[in-house]
Structure 1
Amino acid sequence: MASTPASPSSSGPSAAAFADVAELSYEEARDELIRVVSELEQGSATLEQSLALWERGEALASRCESWLIGARERLEAARQTAAE
């Protein structure tokens, strides 16, 4: 995985850098998040790589959370419909 180094003064990744995350299914985002966490736990990445992995992990975790919130809302709507 090639990445361009981020400068220490940068304010984080651009929205375009993680645009693909918005297209991932829950399972895809979860599986990639597991891979990212595993890679970070190994501790063999450089500081720059670790920061990029951390930022990617945050984006993936947010995507998973969005899916779970949506699922919860759908369940609540189904329960409301069933109760009526």
Structure 2
Amino acid sequence: MNTTNFPTMNTITQAAATSGLAVYRIRQLCQSGRIKSIRCGRRTLVNMDSLAAYLNDGDAVQPAPAVGSIRRVDES
């Protein structure tokens, strides 16, 4: 039987309280793509595994690709 592990998602306020970072810093990390997050209505939900990885590795973690972004495709 396959089991799917869903990531733990928290609001920005909850993520800030859990991590000890300021709310504005969590927002900056989400907007820059350094941690994974999604918009759910008016709220932004933060992937706590991504936040933990950022806290462990700092800026060494590659930014998550923005959903719906435009990227250049090489013509060959």
Q: Which has the higher helix share?
A: 1
Q: Which has the higher strand share?
A: 2
Please, what TM-score do these two structures have when normalized by structure 2? 0.28
